[in-house]
């Protein structure tokens, strides 16, 4: 597994955790983009399910390699969007502390940020495009090599 493969695999797990944070879910609900975030979580999970197959096929299939490269770019962009959200939340919390205000629900007071909401929607659209290519590329979910090494793949059992 290459360093870039490790990065994307790790990033997907981190992205799923960040998309499930209570703070993010509360804010996106107020922004009326909670459906977009739920859809994004679903798409990222779908992509995560084929990563093992991608790792195996990208060396032999240039289309899969291009798909994986596009996924890496998208992972970077998604991380940037979530970092901007985290930065905005930190700034808000600092301003609340400095002003001496103690709102009951500090997240409710976060100013609506149309640009951030638009970026989340764009990221979701890009993940959707990548997820649609899974079938075209013949990628399979949760595959592992058979112990005999004959190259046949079987579904991995999920806990």
Q: Which DSSP string do the residues of 60-84 spell out, in sequence order? A: T-HHHHHHHHHHHHHHHHHHHHHHH
Count how many domains the chain has: 1
Tens of pLDDT, residue by residue over 69-85, are 999 899 889 988 888 87
Which value, in Å, is the radius of gyration of the alpha carbons in the chain? 19
pLDDT at 150 (0 to 100): 36
Of 77-81, 91-95, 98-102, where does mean pLDDT reach its minimum? Answer: 98-102
73 domain-assigned? yes
28 domain-assigned? yes
144 domain-assigned? no
H helix or E strand, kind and range, residue 154? strand 153-155
pLDDT at 101 (0 to 100): 62
- What is the spatial distance between Cα 105 and Cα 92, in angstroms, rounded to a whole number? 12
* Residue numbers of the domain that contains 47: 3-139
Write down the number of H helices and E strands in the chain: 6, 2
75 domain-assigned? yes
Tens of pLDDT, residue by residue over 30-44, are 777 778 888 888 888
85 domain-assigned? yes
67 domain-assigned? yes
157 domain-assigned? no
The mean pLDDT value for 38-59 works out to: 87
Residue owning tokens 């059992």: 157
The mean pLDDT value for 10-39 works out to: 77
What are the structure tokens assigned to 57, written together?
């096929």
79 domain-assigned? yes
For residue 155, the SS3 value is: strand
């Amino acid at each position: 597994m290459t360093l870039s493969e490790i990065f994307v695999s790790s990033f997907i797990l981190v992205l799923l955790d960040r998309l499930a944070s209570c703070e993010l879910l509360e804010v996106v609900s107020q922004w009326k983009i909670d459906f977009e975030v739920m859809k994004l979580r679903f798409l990222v999970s779908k992509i995560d399910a084929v990563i093992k197959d991608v790792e195996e096929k990208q060396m032999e299939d240039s289309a899969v390699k291009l798909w994986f490269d596009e996924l890496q770019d998208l992972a970077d962009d998604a991380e940037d969007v979530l970092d901007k959200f985290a930065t905005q939340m930190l700034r808000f919390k600092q301003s609340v502390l400095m002003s001496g205000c103690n709102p009951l629900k500090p997240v409710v007071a976060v100013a609506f940020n149309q640009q951030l909401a638009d970026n989340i929607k764009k990221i979701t659209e890009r993940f959707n495009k990548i997820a649609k290519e899974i079938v075209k590329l013949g990628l399979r979910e949760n595959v592992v090599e058979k112990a005999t090494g004959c190259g046949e793949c079987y579904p991995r059992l999920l806990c």
